[in-house]
């Protein structure tokens, strides 16, 4: 916003903070709509169209990948915690509380050692973390499976 040109708009500021890319697209679209003539408009319009189309394709690809992970969770080809780690970005990217379980599990297991890091941990610490992991997996399996099925139901046709 230009200094002194408009009064503060809390809703606009919130949107800009929560979805900066969407805010920029909306602002540019507004500019384009107000100036519909000349070669600059044509070039800007072309760039915006390409950006929109690229974003749509990126979203489709991400959703297809997420559906594949969700199917693997339901088939128990990957465990709940690994699946949640792979899907935790969904809540933020697509702003859906249904998928919040994925990021909650990721936050709870962020400090758990994986792969080669485990060999550097003390045996008793590993045992404790493994018990926590097993308990978390057992306690969250149903919610993760429900969220995975919901994800498949919503996005499988994409």
**For the segment 91-101, what is each residue's pLDDT rounded down to a tens digit?**
777 666 777 88
Position of tokens 């997996």? 137
Looking at every residue in the chain, the average pLDDT score rounds to 79
| Calpha distance 152→32 (Å, rounded) | 37
pTM for the model stands at: 0.63
Contacts of 9 (CB under 8 A, 6+ apart): 1
Q: Three-state SS across 74-94?
A: HCCCCCHHHHHHHHCHHHHHH
pLDDT digits 0-9 by tens, 67-113 = 999 999 999 999 999 999 999 887 777 666 777 889 899 899 988 88
| Calpha distance 14→5 (Å, rounded) | 19
Q: How confident is the model at residue 3 (pLDDT cuts 50, 70, 90)?
A: very low
Domain ranges for the chain, please list them: 10-155
CB atoms within 10 A of CB 28: 15
Q: What are phi and psi of 128, to 5 degrees?
A: -65, -45
Above 90 in pLDDT, residue 139?
yes
Q: What is the mean pLDDT of residues 131-141?
A: 94
Higher pLDDT, 45 or 89: 89
Alpha helices in 1-158 (DSSP H): 10-18, 20-34, 38-74, 80-87, 89-94, 100-109, 123-155
pLDDT, residue 35, reads 60
- Output the furthest CA–CA distance in the chain (Å, rounded): 71
- What is the rounded end-to-end Cα distance, in angstroms, of the chain? 37
Q: How confident is the model at residue 61 (pLDDT cuts 50, 70, 90)?
A: confident
Contacts of 152 (CB under 8 A, 6+ apart): 67, 70, 71, 74
pLDDT, residue 2, reads 43
Above 60 in pLDDT, residue 6?
no
């Amino acid at each position: 916003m230009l200094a002194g040109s408009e009064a503060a708009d809390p809703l606009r500021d919130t949107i800009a903070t929560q979805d900066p890319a969407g805010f920029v697209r909306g602002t540019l679209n507004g500019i384009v709509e107000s100036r519909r003539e000349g070669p600059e408009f044509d070039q800007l319009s072309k760039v915006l169209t390409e950006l929109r189309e690229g974003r749509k394709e990126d979203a489709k690809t991400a959703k297809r990948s997420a559906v594949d992970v969700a199917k693997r969770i339901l088939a128990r080809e990957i465990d709940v915690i690994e699946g949640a780690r792979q899907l935790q970005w969904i809540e933020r990217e697509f702003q859906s509380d249904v998928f919040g379980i994925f990021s909650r599990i990721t936050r709870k297991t962020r400090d758990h050692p994986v792969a080669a890091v485990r060999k550097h941990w003390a045996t008793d610490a590993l045992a404790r973390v493994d018990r926590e992991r097993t308990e978390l997996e057992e306690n969250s399996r149903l919610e993760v499976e429900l969220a995975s099925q919901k994800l498949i139901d919503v996005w499988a046709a994409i």
